[in-house]
């Protein structure tokens, strides 16, 4: 017999209760995993927007719902270029869910010859020139069965494919580029852009540039670190906050659920704990037995929740309508946090029942039989 | 085996017990009134009396499951009412046998016997070896992997006796150990208790409402309504511990 034997045999003896408690926890943990994965995915996506091309900073409108809904005046680009600490700046107009047959593809409106578009390697055709021309990423073109010379519908316009490019960034290779003016016309934001990406002059530190921009151009959100990129979108921030609230709720509800189950178990097994006490088990030894049981149920629930949550993250993104630009990021860190929450639920929920079990009076419990 | 600082020293001849002026009440209801007696090391004493006379309460007090409202109980000169860590005393100095055996139904017979040793943190291999030896001693060799539900009533009570002996306590307290057994099974348990007293020199106090069992004991004490009404020597049987 090992120290875990009484705990495991008790769980085996009441499998229905253990499974139902674990299942309840699994649903809570699954929600947490899905939200953490979506939150991390949104962060990653925002990070990629910030570092489109080889820029040092990404500028967004403060308090935009998400990076794609930011609106900045195009005139700001010229003002930024005049700053001696700026090497170059360009505007980007992002269009989502505009490509028919590929709603997940992002269309980037950018000026031809900018530092972003100059990095493109063309496997077919050339860079766009006129207003109705489009170049497709080498992941999007096969998905649309499109070739150079074909027409592709973007929003209400039909645009001719003039080139197929590769950039090495999945969001861009699975999307398309059009002239900035065409994107502005499609979005109805003439003389406006979604974001401005900035290359700093040699030797200028991003932190210093951030301070200068904040002082010179109030109302801009400046991001220089992909980890901070979630700040660029209120939706992303909202997901992050909702995740935190749900984690706290899961701790409370899961903890109460485990406590309720364990309390029932302690009441049912009062004689058992009295007997253990009579044969010399100390209060902490009995408490440890109950606590271990709670933690095992919670860890099993957390493990099932991790599997469910990993599967459910994609469903959640679809439900949020964010599949166009967010992919769930199910990392070891996300899974580790979920498991830690599961263990915390077991410990928190098991504390009071463990205390009760440790304080069962053996004389009274045995006399009542 | 771990032995706490408050435990009586282990002795081959069992522990002496001294009950002096003990009264006990549950709320306003007094169940024991000024009880006085002593048990010599290695004695087998029958505590008789009708149901509700306070026998179980007295055993619980002697085994540190509860504290007397008044008076003192000394087990091997240790005041069990003043123990700071009664669990240590219970795991090292006393073995309980209850009428309902209280074997944990989810554990095997051997695991049940190992429970007191697990509390005392006896190494696992030693626990298993000692449990097997005890099961052999009570005539249940080879039944270690069985569940309690697979045993007869008499066999379960013998497992409970093996569990009581697990940490080699100098005092065994048996509360109606044959109360739910048929006469053959009851005889078997009594023989074991007598054999235990004879070979190990363990002090044994047995509470029973059945006065026909008195001849098995060295001495009998009768409790009526919480008072000791009769003390009688049954037959002189000197203790000859073989350990």
Element (H, E) at A152: strand A151-154
A280 and B60: CB-CB below 8 Å? no
Question: Are A166 and A68 contained in the same domain?
Answer: yes
Total domain count for chain B? 1
Query: What local confidence, expressed as pLDDT, does residue B240 receive?
Result: 46
Residue range A239-247: mean pLDDT, rounded: 72
B87 and A369: CB-CB below 8 Å? no
Whether A229 is covered by a domain: the verdict is: no
For B147, the closest chain A residue by CA position comes to A9
Q: Which of B66, B88, B115 sits opposite A279 (nearest CB)?
A: B115
Nearest to A255 by CA among A343, A335, A336: A343
Query: What local confidence, expressed as pLDDT, does residue B243 receive?
Result: 38
pLDDT digits (tens, 9 = 90+) for A63-77: 776 667 788 999 999
pLDDT higher than 50, residue A356: yes
Residue B148: which CATH number? 3.40.50.300
**Pick among B106, B162, B169 to test the A interface (most A CBs inside 10 A):** B106
pLDDT higher than 70, residue A231: no
Residue range B154-168: mean pLDDT, rounded: 92
- Name the band, by pLDDT with cuts 50, 70 and 90, for residue B10: very low
Q: Touching check for A363 and chain B: CB below 8 Å?
A: yes
pLDDT higher than 80, residue B213: no
For B119, the closest chain A residue by CA position comes to A281
The residues of B whose Cβ lies within 8 A of any Cβ of A are 56-57, 60, 63, 65-66, 85, 87-88, 90-92, 96, 98, 100, 102, 104-107, 110-111, 114-116, 118-120, 124, 127-128, 163, 166-167
Question: Are A184 and A116 contained in the same domain?
Answer: yes
Whether B238 is covered by a domain: the verdict is: no
B167 and A3: CB-CB below 8 Å? no
Q: Touching check for A3 and chain B: CB below 8 Å?
A: yes
A280 and B65: CB-CB below 8 Å? no
Question: Are A96 and A141 contained in the same domain?
Answer: yes
Contacts of B115 in chain A (CB under 8 A): 6, 276, 279, 281
Query: What local confidence, expressed as pLDDT, does residue A52 receive?
Result: 57
Whether A52 is covered by a domain: the verdict is: no
- Name the band, by pLDDT with cuts 50, 70 and 90, for residue B12: very low
Whether B7 is covered by a domain: the verdict is: no
Whether B168 is covered by a domain: the verdict is: yes
Domain with A310 in it: 5-45+236-367
Whether A142 is covered by a domain: the verdict is: yes
What one-character-per-residue DSSP string does chain B give? ----TTSPPP-TT---EEEEEEEEEETTEEEEEEEEEEE-TT-EEEEE--TTSSHHHHHHHHTTSS--SEEEEEETTEEGGG-S-HHHHHHHHEEEE-TT----TTS-HHHHHHHHHHHTT--HHHHHHHHHHHHHHTT-TT-TTS-GGGS-HHHHHHHHHHHHTTT--SEEEEESTTTTS-HHHHHHHHHHHHHHHHHH--EEEEEES-GGGGGGSSEEEEEETTEEEEEEE----------
Q: Which of A5, A275, A363 sits opposite B60 (nearest CB)?
A: A363
Query: What local confidence, expressed as pLDDT, does residue B242 receive?
Result: 44
Whether B79 is covered by a domain: the verdict is: yes
| Longest Cα–Cα distance in chain A | 94
Question: Are A276 and A316 contained in the same domain?
Answer: yes
Residue range B216-223: mean pLDDT, rounded: 89
- Name the band, by pLDDT with cuts 50, 70 and 90, for residue A332: confident
Residue range B37-62: mean pLDDT, rounded: 92
Where does a domain end: A201, A223, A245? A223
pLDDT digits (tens, 9 = 90+) for A18-54: 888 888 888 888 888 887 787 777 666 666 655 555 6
Domain with B221 in it: 17-233
pLDDT digits (tens, 9 = 90+) for A176-209: 999 999 999 988 888 899 888 888 888 888 888 8
Query: What local confidence, expressed as pLDDT, does residue A125 receive?
Result: 92
pLDDT higher than 50, residue B4: no
pLDDT digits (tens, 9 = 90+) for A109-146: 988 878 778 888 999 999 998 778 999 999 889 988 99
Cα separation values, B221 from A156, A251, A337, A355, B47, Å: 104, 58, 64, 39, 5
Q: Is this complex scored with an ipTM above 0.90?
A: no
| Nearest CA-CA distance, residue B184 and chain A, Å | 25
Where does a domain end: A223, A256, A275? A223
Whether B217 is covered by a domain: the verdict is: yes
Contacts of B188 (CB under 8 A, 6+ apart): B139, B154, B158
- Name the band, by pLDDT with cuts 50, 70 and 90, for residue B118: very high
Question: Are A262 and A130 contained in the same domain?
Answer: no
Total domain count for chain A? 2
- Residue B183: exposure state from Cβ atoms within 10 A (0-12, 13-18, ≥19): exposed
A1 and B60: CB-CB below 8 Å? no
Question: Are A73 and A208 contained in the same domain?
Answer: yes
B107 and A6: CB-CB below 8 Å? yes
Query: What local confidence, expressed as pLDDT, does residue A45 receive?
Result: 65
Where does a domain end: A185, A200, A223? A223
Whether A191 is covered by a domain: the verdict is: yes
Q: Which of B56, B102, B107 sits opposite A5 (nearest CB)?
A: B107
B106 and A367: CB-CB below 8 Å? no
Query: What local confidence, expressed as pLDDT, does residue B36 receive?
Result: 94
Query: What local confidence, expressed as pLDDT, does residue B233 receive?
Result: 67
Question: Are A261 and A350 contained in the same domain?
Answer: yes
CB contacts < 8 A (A, B) = 84
| Nearest CA-CA distance, residue B104 and chain A, Å | 7
Question: Are A219 and A241 contained in the same domain?
Answer: no
Query: What local confidence, expressed as pLDDT, does residue A53 receive?
Result: 56
């Amino acid at each position: 017999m090992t120290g875990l034997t009484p705990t495991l045999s008790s769980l085996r003896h009441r499998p229905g209760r253990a499974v139902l408690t674990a299942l309840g926890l699994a649903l809570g943990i699954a929600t947490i995993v899905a939200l953490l994965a979506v939150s991390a995915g949104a962060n990653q996506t925002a990070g990629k927007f910030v570092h489109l091309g080889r820029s040092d900073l990404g500028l967004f409108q403060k308090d935009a719902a998400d990076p794609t809904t930011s609106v900045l005046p195009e005139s700001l680009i010229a003002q930024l270029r005049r700053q001696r600490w700026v090497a170059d700046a360009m505007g980007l107009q992002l269009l989502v869910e505009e490509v028919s047959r590929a709603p997940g593809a992002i269309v980037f409106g950018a000026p031809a010859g900018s530092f972003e578009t100059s990095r493109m390697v063309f496997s077919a055709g050339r860079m766009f020139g006129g207003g109705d021309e489009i170049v497709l990423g080498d992941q999007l073109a096969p998905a649309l069965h499109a070739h150079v010379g074909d027409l592709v519908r973007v929003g209400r316009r039909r645009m001719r494919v003039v080139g197929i490019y590769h950039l090495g960034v999945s969001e861009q290779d699975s999307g398309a580029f059009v002239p900035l003016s065409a994107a502005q016309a499609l979005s109805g934001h003439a003389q406006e852009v979604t974001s401005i990406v900035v290359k700093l002059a040699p030797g200028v530190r991003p932190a210093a540039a951030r301070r200068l921009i904040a002082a010179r151009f109030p109302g801009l959100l400046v991001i220089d670190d992909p980890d901070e990129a979630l700040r660029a979108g209120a939706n992303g921030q909202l997901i992050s906050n909702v995740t935190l609230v749900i984690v706290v709720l899961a701790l409370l509800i899961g903890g109460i659920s485990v406590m309720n189950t364990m309390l029932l178990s302690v009441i049912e097994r009062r004689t058992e704990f009295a007997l253990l006490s009579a044969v010399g088990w100390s209060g902490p030894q009995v408490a440890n037995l109950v606590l271990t049981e709670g933690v095992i149920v919670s860890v099993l629930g957390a493990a099932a929740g991790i599997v469910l949550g990993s599967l459910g993250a994609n469903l959640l993104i679809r439900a949020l309508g964010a599949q166009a630009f967010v992919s769930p990021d199910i990392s070891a860190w996300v899974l580790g946090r979920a498991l830690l929450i599961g263990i915390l639920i077991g410990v928190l929920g098991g504390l009071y029942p463990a205390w009760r079990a440790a304080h069962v009076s053996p004389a009274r419990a045995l006399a009542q039989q | 085996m771990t032995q706490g600082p408050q435990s009586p020293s282990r002795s081959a001849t069992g522990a002496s017990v001294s009950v002096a002026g003990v009264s006990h009440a549950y709320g306003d209801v007094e169940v024991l009134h000024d009880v006085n007696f002593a048990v010599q090391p290695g004695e087998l004493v029958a505590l008789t009396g009708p149901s509700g006379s306070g026998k179980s309460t007295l055993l619980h007090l002697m085994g540190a499951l509860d504290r007397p409202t008044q008076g003192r109980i000394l087990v091997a000169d240790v005041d069990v009412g003043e123990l700071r860590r009664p669990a240590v005393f219970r795991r090292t100095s006393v073995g309980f046998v209850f009428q309902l055996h209280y074997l944990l139904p989810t554990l095997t017979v051997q695991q049940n016997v190992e429970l007191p040793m697990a509390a005392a943190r006896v190494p696992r291999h030693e626990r298993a070896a000692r449990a097997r030896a005890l099961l052999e001693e009570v005539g249940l060799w080879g039944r270690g992997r069985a569940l309690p539900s697979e045993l007869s009533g008499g066999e379960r009570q013998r497992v409970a006796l093996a569990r009581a002996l697990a940490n080699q306590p100098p005092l065994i307290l048996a509360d109606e150990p044959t109360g739910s057994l048929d006469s053959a099974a009851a005889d078997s348990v009594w023989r074991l208790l007598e054999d235990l007293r004879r070979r190990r020199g363990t002090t044994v106090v047995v509470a029973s409402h059945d006065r026909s069992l008195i001849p098995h004991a060295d001495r009998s004490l009768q409790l009526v309504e919480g008072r000791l009404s009769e003390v009688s020597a049954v037959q002189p049987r000197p203790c000859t511990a073989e350990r």
